[in-house]
Amino acid sequence: MTVVQDATRQFRSRSKADGGETRARMRTRVLVADHDPLWRHLLYDVLNGDSQLDVVAEVDSRRPLADWPLQRVEVAVLGASHGEPMVGAIRQLTARRIRVVLLCLDWSRRSLDAAVAAGAAGCLVKETDLSGVAGSVQAVAGRNRVFSAALLNFYVDPAGVNRPSQDAVQKLTAREREVLCRLGEGLTTAEAAELCGVSSATVKSHVSHALAKLGARNRLEAVLMVRDTLGAPVPGAYWAPDAAAG
């Protein structure tokens, strides 16, 4: 099983659960950009074969972004060998309110930090099996963040949780830990609130208090700190709702 297949399965399950409402919605408009024509065509074929996605264009990523047909594009899927050279394009695309999924062959902690700081909503390992990429694009279109499980080791050091981090996690209330674990399962704020039996405002309050106690930069880092300390399971495809998501 590839690291992004789980995201595809979750979105298919949600489509069935809502009685087909998801399928009835307008398809997400996607642009594919890669300097390698083979990868570009592969991505195009995989994404365009999904009923929820409409690939409106494929472009050589080496072309100036001003030449890219970005009208009404909602998600841009960028393929590259290394993440850092794409940072400029990510910034320009996010400035246009276009969500970005970046697939790279060779990731490092530095390139992941650069991509996230530039605004990438999805960071995936570029591999020959692309079957799960469509699910990740759908997750990003739904205002979630998506990371390949292999990249989590770059985001938070798994070599051992230091004592200050352990102490910080232990200071969380049981409800704060529960909320972070729910969000780590890919739930939105509203979904986590329903399962916890509280309001969305209360969930956001718990997250805010947890971030302060942990000294975490964002929800993703907080969830990972809890996982590394408590040994909570991580889905094969990890996607955490953005702070702005309901």
pLDDT in tens, 171-197: 899 899 888 888 776 677 888 899 889
pTM for the predicted model, two decimal places? 0.63
Give Cα separations from 240 to 65, 68, 71, 181 (angstroms).
29, 29, 28, 10
Tokens found for residue 94: 């996010």
Percent share of the chain, pLDDT over 90: 39
Q: Reply yes or no on whether the pLDDT at 159 is more than 50.
A: no
Residue 72: predicted pLDDT = 92
Q: Average of pLDDT values for 212-237?
A: 69
Q: Reply yes or no on whether the pLDDT at 127 is more than 50.
A: yes
